[in-house]
Amino acid sequence: MKCVKGFEIKPMKSAAGWYMGTKTEEGFPQCRITRNYYKTPEEAQKHMDKDYRYCEENNWCSHGRTCYEW
């Protein structure tokens, strides 16, 4: 699945746990799609639609819309 800017949405790891997000072309974290963090990448992916949030910190990207279409 891709975000509105064409970046691949995938499980990503942080110190807080796993979340669904995107990376820049350079490989840096760009956008966190899920609101919560999970223990495994599978849990993050499973909860993506239920735990979805508007990506306010990346408003430049989505222009006030959602980051991806269901």
pTM confidence score: 0.76
Residue 25 inside a domain? The answer is yes
Domain that holds residue 16: 10-62
Count of structural domains within the chain: 1
Residue 40 inside a domain? The answer is yes
Measured from the Cβ of residue 48, the count of other Cβ atoms closer than 10 Å reads 18
CA–CA separation, 62 and 54 (whole Å): 9
pLDDT of residue 50: 79
Predicted confidence pLDDT, tens digits, the chain (70 residues) = 887 778 889 999 999 999 999 898 888 888 888 888 999 999 999 988 777 665 555 555 666 566 665 4
Q: What is the largest CA-CA distance in the chain?
A: 31
Q: Where are the beta strands (DSSP E) in the chain?
A: 10-14, 17-23, 29-32
Of 56, 42, 57, the residue nearest 10 (C-alpha): 42
Cα angle for residues 26, 28, 30 (degrees, 5° grid): 115
Residue 1 inside a domain? The answer is no
